[in-house]
């Protein structure tokens, strides 16, 4: 009888080891193919790391979308906390700013050194809510953050169970000024000054109907916004990043490269939409593809298309054509560049195109 028990325990131990190995292998296969794969978590990866110290799982859904089911131990931090309306400018859903954003993160028990895993659900745009908070963290120079592929549905598909969320103890979240990357957020004046500058590639992620001016949208007060799009912008609908519109599974890296044929990863990419939410998903996907120089125009069409403004508009359809963007070469962080001297990198060769920068 005792021998039978030992055999049974041995079989169970082997199955547990194989299960853990499968989970880790699946996690690596899911994110490894993307150059920025460290920004993506699969359900299998999260199952294998849920108990890690300094790992904070964040449910970004609002009360309206929350169905009472959460990943056990998750912190509820609705993504809309990071936005507010500005009636004085007629803008809706504007970023609250870096100071307030740090207060919100600290209130929800998130420390500067934590690995933050963000999730929503496939039904609620599968990643387009999480990606807004991803952008906020990237703007603040946070090092470790991930979007959970498929959100809560991806977690359940990987065999995860649901449980109670937790109320965290408040902490001080403070990003050093030198690490906050304000360049991740641009405004209309920045974009207008760079129209026609080939260093900047503008991507309209709205629907084709919105891009062509065939579908109208409204401002904060219900007034109709102007039709059309920002001059020189190409249209890549944010929904085109999904391989499956039901599960919201992301396309493979190769398929994303095909989608962005003609995009130069060495130049700045500026995505925009109507109010920043959809653009933040494109921002996340481009970062997942390894692009370093991505700057979201967060106020988007809410600002550019406002009838009280006079920014130029065009209706001409522009299409990306050319080679598949390769794996981008990681740029050196200028703020951490070593001082000139023995061993310093050689200065770049003179000549070639020079952007107006900024």
Q: Which residues are catalytic?
A: 273
- Per DSSP bridges, beta strands 145-148 and 91-95 are unpaired
| Dihedral, CA of residue 307, residue 271, residue 120 and residue 173, to nearest 10 | -100
- Which runs of E-coded beta strand occur in the chain? 40-41, 55-59, 75-76, 83-86, 91-95, 115-119, 145-148, 185-186, 200-204, 234-235, 242-244, 249-250, 268-272, 296-297
User: 95 has which bridge partners?
Assistant: 83
Which residue blocks in 243-299 are alpha helix, DSSP H?
253-259, 277-288
Two tokens at 249?
Answer: 């599974």
Residue 61 phi/psi, 5-degree rounding, is -70, 150
| Dihedral, CA of residue 195, residue 197, residue 201 and residue 205, to nearest 10 | 0
Q: Whole-angstrom Cα distance, residue 239 to residue 282?
A: 9
- Other residues' Cβ atoms within 10 Å of the Cβ of residue 303: 24
Q: Which of 217, 213, 263 is nearest to 236 (CA)?
A: 263
Chain position carrying tokens 């500005």: 86
């Amino acid at each position: 009888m005792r021998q039978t028990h030992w055999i049974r325990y041995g079989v169970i131990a082997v199955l547990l080891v194989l299960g853990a190995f499968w989970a880790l292998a699946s996690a690596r296969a899911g994110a490894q193919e993307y150059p920025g794969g460290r920004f993506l978590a699969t359900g299998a990866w999260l199952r294998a790391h849920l108990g890690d110290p300094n790992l904070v799982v964040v449910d970004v859904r609002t009360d309206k979308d929350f169905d009472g089911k959460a990943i056990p131990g998750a912190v509820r931090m609705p993504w809309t906390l990071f936005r507010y309306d500005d009636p004085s400018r007629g803008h809706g859903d504007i970023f609250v700013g870096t100071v307030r954003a740090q207060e919100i993160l600290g209130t929800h028990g998130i420390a500067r050194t934590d690995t933050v895993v963000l999730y929503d659900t496939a039904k609620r745009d599968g990643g387009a809510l999480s990606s807004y908070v991803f952008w906020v963290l990237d703007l603040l120079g946070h090092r470790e953050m991930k979007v959970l592929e498929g959100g809560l549905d991806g977690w359940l598909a990987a065999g995860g169970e649901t449980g109670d969320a937790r109320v965290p103890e408040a902490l001080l979240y403070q990003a050093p000024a030198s690490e906050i990357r304000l360049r991740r957020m641009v405004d209309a004046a920045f974009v207008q000054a760079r129209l026609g500058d080939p260093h900047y590639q503008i991507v309209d992620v709205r629907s084709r109907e919105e891009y062509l001016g065939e579908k109208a949208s409204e401002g904060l007060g219900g007034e109709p916004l102007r039709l059309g799009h920002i001059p020189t912008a190409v249209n890549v609908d944010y929904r085109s990043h999904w391989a499956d519109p039901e599960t919201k599974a992301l396309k493979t890296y190769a398929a994303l490269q095909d989608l962005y044929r003609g995009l130069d990863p060495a130049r700045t990419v500026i995505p925009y939409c109507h109010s920043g939410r959809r653009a933040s998903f494109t921002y996340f996907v481009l970062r997942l593809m390894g692009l370093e120089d991505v700057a979201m125009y967060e106020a988007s069409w809410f600002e550019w298309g406002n009838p009280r403004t006079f920014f130029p508009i065009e209706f001409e359809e522009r299409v990306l054509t050319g080679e598949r963007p390769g794996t981008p070469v990681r740029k050196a962080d200028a703020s951490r560049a070593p001082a000139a001297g023995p061993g310093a990198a050689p200065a770049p060769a003179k000549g070639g195109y020079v952007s107006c920068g900024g």
